[in-house]
Structure 1
Amino acid sequence: MSSSAADPNYTYYEVGSIDDFMERVGRRVIIGEQEIALFKTSDGALYALENKSPGPKGGTLVEGMVSEHILFDPICDWRIRMTDGQVLDPDTGQVTTYPVLLSGERVHIGIPKSGGESDNDQRT
């Protein structure tokens, strides 16, 4: 979720202006080797998730539908909570999420300094 305070465990990369992102429409962002789907909710919150479906058919998430703070996987219609990447019942799984930092009107995505996955990567 978007924040105005940087987490010291992440390196932040600018990906555009807040106005560059349409509400409820995903946008694909590539930072190094990370492919990220960035979503802006109707209340203005920004969420960055790994652009990889946790579903058995695979695919990407960027084309998913957003309803409040839930993302519907475009391939298998699983519901994913964007705040933490958790797949909601009756399905199971998790998507890696990344912190989003707002600096004025500029949007930045945080990538873990260790070069690994973010702290909530617990795929099943």
Structure 2
Amino acid sequence: MTEKIFLTKTETLLPQIGRSVSIGSKKLALFQLSDGRITAIEDFCPLTGGPVLEGTVSGEYLYEPLRDYKISLIDGRIQDPDEGQLKVYELLQEDGNIYLKGTAL
């Protein structure tokens, strides 16, 4: 059986709008892409030191709100010419609920 941590209900997400979820001291940003996929990344940009939650989503990318860095919501990689990586979290969706898969934060 896969370990999982409840994050939120699917119905609470709006397409292309971030939703903050906290697990202990860790903050995650959940996003529902325009094609319906749901992704989760850490809500912290290593380049600006600020949150990414309120960035603009376009396709599979998030434009970081302070400096407009382009971040992949699929693998967390900050796109060229900038460099960096945000942690991406694996999710499970069951019966209208979204769970963090496993326990590694």
How has the CA–CA distance of structure 1 residues 33 and 111 changed in structure 2, closer, same or farther, with 3 Å as cutoff?
Answer: farther
Render the CA deviation track for 1:71-111: whole Å, top value 9, x for unaligned. 11111101011111001101000001111110121111235
Aligned AA (1:74): P
Q: How far apart, in 2, do the equivalents of 1:42 and 1:79 lie?
A: 17
**1:41-72 Cα shifts (integer Å, max 9, x gaps):** 111111110000122x3210100111111011
Gaps (5+ residues) in structure 2? none
5+ residue gaps, structure 1: 1-5, 118-124
Where does residue 93 of structure 1 map in the other structure? 84
Letter in 2 for 1:15: L
Matched ranges for 1:5-84 at <5 A: 8=2, 11-55=3-47, 57-84=48-75
1:89 is paired with a residue whose SS is: coil
Aligned partner of residue 11 in structure 2, secondary structure = helix
How many residues in Structure 1 have an aligned counterpart in Structure 2? Answer: 105
Take 2:90 and 2:49, find their aligned partners in 1: how far apart are those partners? 23
* 1:98–1:111 Cα contact (<8 Å) kept: no
- The letter of the residue matching 1:88 is Q
Q: Percent identity at matched positions? A: 31
What letter corresponds to residue 69 of structure 2 in structure 1?
W
How far apart, in 2, do the equivalents of 1:43 and 1:27 lie? 17
Partner of 1:120: none
- Residues 5 and 103, structure 2, Cα contact 8 Å, conserved in 1: no
